[in-house]
Amino acid sequence: MGTLWYNGIIRTMEHARARAEAVFTENGCIVDVGELQSLEKTYKPRILSNVDLQGATMFPGFVDSHAHMMGFGQNLLRLNLSSVTSSSQLLRALENEATTLEDREWLIGEGWNENNFSDQHMIRKKELDERFPERPVMLTRICRHAMIVNSKALQLAGLDRSTPDPSGGVIAKDERGELTGLLLDEAQDFIQRVAPAPTEPALEKALTVAFDHMIQTGLTGVHTEDLAYYGSFSRVLGAYRKTFADGSLGSHSAWLLEPYTDEPKNNGVAIYSPEALKAVVKRIRKKEMTVAVHVIGDAALAHTLDAIETYPPPEGKKDRLIHVQIANKSLIRRMQQLAVVLDLQPRFAVSDFPWVKKLLGRERLSYSYAWKTLLQHGLACAGGSDAPIEPPAPLLGLHAAMTRRKPEETHAGFLPDEKLSAFEAVQLYTQGSAKASGNDAHYGWIIPGYRADFTVLDGDPLSMEDPDELLQMKALYTIVDESIMYEHETV
């Protein structure tokens, strides 16, 4: 016995104008799509329940193709520094948080971003030591590719000026060779090893908080990448690791073919050497698995493509290239010849501009955050948030993809030629995410035979006149396997 969904705008996503009057679902699957009277007549003996959409708009379920659910949940539970706008405000937040802790308990903060600071000052070890001489402090940057720690944390980790940089990481030092407290990429592992490990109940709480938040945004699914960060999961699933080829632009650790414009001696951080990266992919292929590789810089992308070309994925499977923030004509041509799906984060374009201009210079910008260009070259692209880096709200992702500006801004958008149409933007979170998971035969469209996962909104992104209307829209229903998992409460 099934459910008849009707009296709404049902966007099947077969093309930009495709819509239906009603959908009949049964046992978690879409049985038929078409005119209401026809479905009522055909399936009357099997219709157990009716859902009146009351004019709302139904889409295939929106899926975030790349996020960190555990990390997002922890971010909601820990000291969140993402809204801090100056170094002095950050320090005040730390001092306030410290009053809630036991003596010598670790002070942990998440999400600072010096690009949002009015004074553009990134704090260092000295400032933390002055306030917290006996309390270990660990502050993770919003990109999670950098952290600031104090002397107590360095001492517990056994780090001093003689400690060499680990492979794929940097222990930052000043001109006198003294540690500044800044650790990039793999160097963060020194601190993570001595910091208090989250308990399984704490991880469960973080996951529950993240789930409750995400489902209210209309997400019916999330491709989460957490297993490499938490001991309990890596012990259970030891064969799994996400592969990182480089760091992030904000921390100047993304791996570039040419140096950073504002740091002419710095090409970023290669987590793996080109040879080691090939070796990693070779090992994965022996298990007949695909790879999902974090590639932000063009050098990371180039060497990852080298590895994939040398060791292609199993027949019929696709590898995933995550972020792909900087490319060029040659790299795009190479991707066109490979079985890859690109995991894009539309909000990165609005968060990273305009400061990213000084890092990359004018010439590289034309192929940076170039979502439209990638789609026009026929590359399969999925949409995600990389939460907690960006909020896991698909409507904000759609807005960023269409406007390439922050919600409060009114300009024409950063690199406006790269704006996506409403249909293209929605495709990222429906068909794109389905292709990324290899499940595009079951998800991403509202057509017979597909899973009954739906996102129902109080507005229609495909017919709105102004993309800013997205900022007022909300999810009314989040439906998974034909079951309403979330329903917006009306006052």
One-letter amino acid of 420: L
pLDDT digit string (tens) for 212-222? 999 999 999 99
Arch. (CATH architecture) of 1-61+444-491: Roll (2.30)
Nearest C-alpha neighbor of 123 from the set 164, 154, 84, 177: 84
Nearest C-alpha neighbor of 345 from the set 321, 309, 311: 321
Q: Is pLDDT at 333 greater than 70 in this prediction?
A: yes
Average of per-residue pLDDT across 125-153? 94
What token pair was written down for 343? 């995991």
Q: Is pLDDT at 58 greater than 80 in this prediction?
A: yes
453 touches 221 (CB < 8 A)? yes
Euclidean distance between CA atoms 368 and 186, whole angstroms: 25
Euclidean distance between CA atoms 399 and 405, whole angstroms: 8
Q: What is the pLDDT of residue 143?
A: 86
Please, what's the b/e burial string for 195-221 (b: 16 or more CB within 10 A of its CB; e: otherwise)? beebeeebbebbbebbbebbbbbbbbb
CA Rg, the chain, in Å?
24
Q: How far apart are the two ends of the chain, measured CA to CA in Å?
A: 32
- 340 forms bridges with which residues in the sheet? 319
Euclidean distance between CA atoms 408 and 11, whole angstroms: 29
CA angle 174, 142, 346 (to 5 degrees): 130
pTM: 0.88
Other beta carbons within 10 angstroms of residue 484's beta carbon come to 14
pLDDT digit string (tens) for 345-393? 999 999 999 899 999 998 999 999 999 999 999 999 999 999 999 999 9
Least confident of 230-244, 383-397, 435-449: 230-244
If one looks up domain 69-194 in CATH, what number appears? 3.10.310.70
Euclidean distance between CA atoms 31 and 39, whole angstroms: 10
Residue 228's pLDDT band, with cuts at 50, 70 and 90, is: low
- Which residues lie closer than 8 Å to 387 by C-beta, 6 or more apart? 64, 67, 68, 69, 71, 72, 75, 210, 214
What token pair was written down for 78? 């820990």
Q: What is the DSSP letter of 405?
A: S
Beta strands in 246-328 (DSSP E): 292-295, 319-323
Residue 234's pLDDT band, with cuts at 50, 70 and 90, is: very low
Residue 261, classed as helix, strand or coil, is: coil
Q: What is the pLDDT of residue 241?
A: 43
Residue-averaged pLDDT of the chain: 93
If one looks up domain 242-440 in CATH, what number appears? 3.20.20.140
What token pair was written down for 291? 């790879």
Q: What is the pLDDT of residue 200?
A: 84
Least confident of 23-27, 120-124, 184-188, 252-256: 120-124
pLDDT digit string (tens) for 291-316? 999 999 999 999 999 999 999 999 99
Q: Is pLDDT at 450 greater than 70 in this prediction?
A: yes
Euclidean distance between CA atoms 189 and 210, whole angstroms: 24
Q: Is pLDDT at 235 greater than 60 in this prediction?
A: no
Average of per-residue pLDDT across 125-138? 96
Q: What is the pLDDT of residue 227?
A: 59
Euclidean distance between CA atoms 294 and 285, whole angstroms: 18
Q: Is pLDDT at 232 greater than 80 in this prediction?
A: no
- Which residues lie closer than 8 Å to 45 by C-beta, 6 or more apart? none
pLDDT digit string (tens) for 152-210? 999 999 999 999 999 999 999 999 999 999 999 999 999 999 999 888 888 899 999 99
Q: What is the pLDDT of residue 199?
A: 82
- Which residues lie closer than 8 Å to 100 by C-beta, 6 or more apart? none
Euclidean distance between CA atoms 213 and 207, whole angstroms: 10
Q: What is the pLDDT of residue 297?
A: 97
* Alpha-carbon distances of 315 from 160, 311, 352, rounded to whole Å: 49, 12, 37
Euclidean distance between CA atoms 156 and 136, whole angstroms: 8
Q: Is pLDDT at 343 greater than 60 in this prediction?
A: yes
379 touches 406 (CB < 8 A)? no
Euclidean distance between CA atoms 295 and 331, whole angstroms: 12
Other beta carbons within 10 angstroms of residue 265's beta carbon come to 6
Q: What percent of the chain has pLDDT above 70?
A: 97
